[in-house]
Amino acid sequence: MPNKLVPTVDDDSRTTGVRSYQDLARKILEETAADSAAADQRLPSERTLADMFGVSRTAVREAIIALEVQGLVEVRLGSGIYLQPSGANGPSRLPAFDVPTGPGPLETLRARVLVEAEIAAAAASERRDADLDRMLDALATMRLQLADKDAYDAADRRFHLAIAEATGNRVLQHMVEAMWDNARQDPRWDKIEQHFHSEQLREASLKDHQAIFAAIAERQPEQARQAMQQHLGRVISQFSQAWY
């Protein structure tokens, strides 16, 4: 039975031979940027591209972000996706078509929903008072640093790692650390945050974090699981909203 708290819209089960968003990025450029295409040409919408290639809008979002990182397209919020001069020549004339490798931001976030929800549930059963102190310290910093994205993000990381540490399982700690750090070292993460991250999202996330903390402090595994799903699901929804 599907979990209602984990976003299931745009399921990636539809495929037509496009093996990954890297392949999809190339195909989008091949199909929409013919040799005669003009720079600043508006490309089809995400929904149209998804229908064209038989994939989900999430897959298209990952591919477009990868193209934008390379300067081949520009996303203009409220307007659309536009071909840039370097992309107007088509992929055959590009000096390099080097789509970033590894999982994209949304793919990583979906993995975090599955992994960190169970970690939160385990933390609710295994946590010690010292673990709660570390979580509270991170929460306090987030509350004070809502206007400072970098400081908030550092405290956000500490909060999630403190939850993993509360399980007493070092493998889980390493998994959370790797998922967090690998995503934020990727230029695609920076690009998607430029479009959709805001102080309002941080305020909503802080409330989510407080709910997660309360469930762990009260030793309520199911509530902790659901609160973490709700939190990461909110971020996915924010990063998946329409560009225009």
Per the CB < 8 A criterion, the answer to whether 88 and 23 are in contact is no
For residue 10, is it within any domain? no
Which pLDDT score, from 0 to 100, does residue 88 have? 52
| Full residue range of the structural domain in which residue 61 is found | 21-93
* Portion of the chain with pLDDT greater than 90, in percent: 47
Q: Choose the final residue of a domain: 93, 114, 140.
A: 93
Q: Choose the final residue of a domain: 38, 68, 93.
A: 93
Compute the half-sphere exposure of residue 84: CA atoms within 13 Å on the CB side of its CA.
13
Q: Do 31 and 71 belong together in one domain?
A: yes
- List b or e across 133-149, with b for residues whose CB sees 16 or more CB atoms inside 10 angstroms: ebbeebbebbeebeeee
Q: In whole angstroms, what is the distance from residue 46 CA to residue 64 CA?
A: 9
Q: Do 117 and 74 belong together in one domain?
A: no
Q: How confident is the model at residue 144 (pLDDT cuts 50, 70, 90)?
A: very high
Q: Do 65 and 113 belong together in one domain?
A: no
Q: How confident is the model at residue 37 (pLDDT cuts 50, 70, 90)?
A: low
pLDDT at 138 over 50: yes
pLDDT at 42 over 90: no
For residue 7, is it within any domain? no
The pLDDT tens digits of the residues spanning 83-115 come to 887 655 554 544 455 656 678 888 899 999 999
Q: In whole angstroms, what is the distance from residue 150 CA to residue 138 CA?
A: 13
> How many domains would you assign to the chain?
2
Which pLDDT score, from 0 to 100, does residue 51 have? 92
Q: Do 114 and 230 belong together in one domain?
A: yes
Which pLDDT score, from 0 to 100, does residue 99 have? 59
Indicate the average pLDDT of the chain: 84
Q: Choose the final residue of a domain: 47, 62, 93.
A: 93
| Distances from the Cα of 171 to the Cα of 10, 31, 161, 178, 181, angstroms | 31, 44, 12, 10, 15
For residue 45, is it within any domain? yes
* Structure-token pair, residue 156: 């956000």
Kindly tell me the sign of the dihedral angle through the C-alpha atoms of 231, 233, 239, 243: negative
For residue 80, is it within any domain? yes
Q: Do 79 and 119 belong together in one domain?
A: no
Q: In whole angstroms, what is the distance from residue 176 CA to residue 205 CA?
A: 18
For residue 116, is it within any domain? yes
Residue 75: phi, psi to the nearest 5?
Answer: -95, 125
Number of neighbours of residue 47 by Cβ within 10 angstroms: 12
Q: Do 130 and 230 belong together in one domain?
A: yes
pTM of the model: 0.78
- The whole-number average pLDDT for the span 240-244 is 73
The pLDDT tens digits of the residues spanning 173-224 come to 999 999 999 888 888 888 888 888 889 999 999 999 999 999 999 999 999 9
- The whole-number average pLDDT for the span 71-78 is 86
- The whole-number average pLDDT for the span 142-170 is 97
Which pLDDT score, from 0 to 100, does residue 6 have? 41
Count of H-run helices and E-run strands, the chain = 10, 2
For the domain that residue 158 is a member of, what is the CATH number? 1.20.120.530
Per the CB < 8 A criterion, the answer to whether 44 and 52 are in contact is yes
Which pLDDT score, from 0 to 100, does residue 230 have? 97
Which pLDDT score, from 0 to 100, does residue 116 have? 98
* Portion of the chain with pLDDT greater than 70, in percent: 82
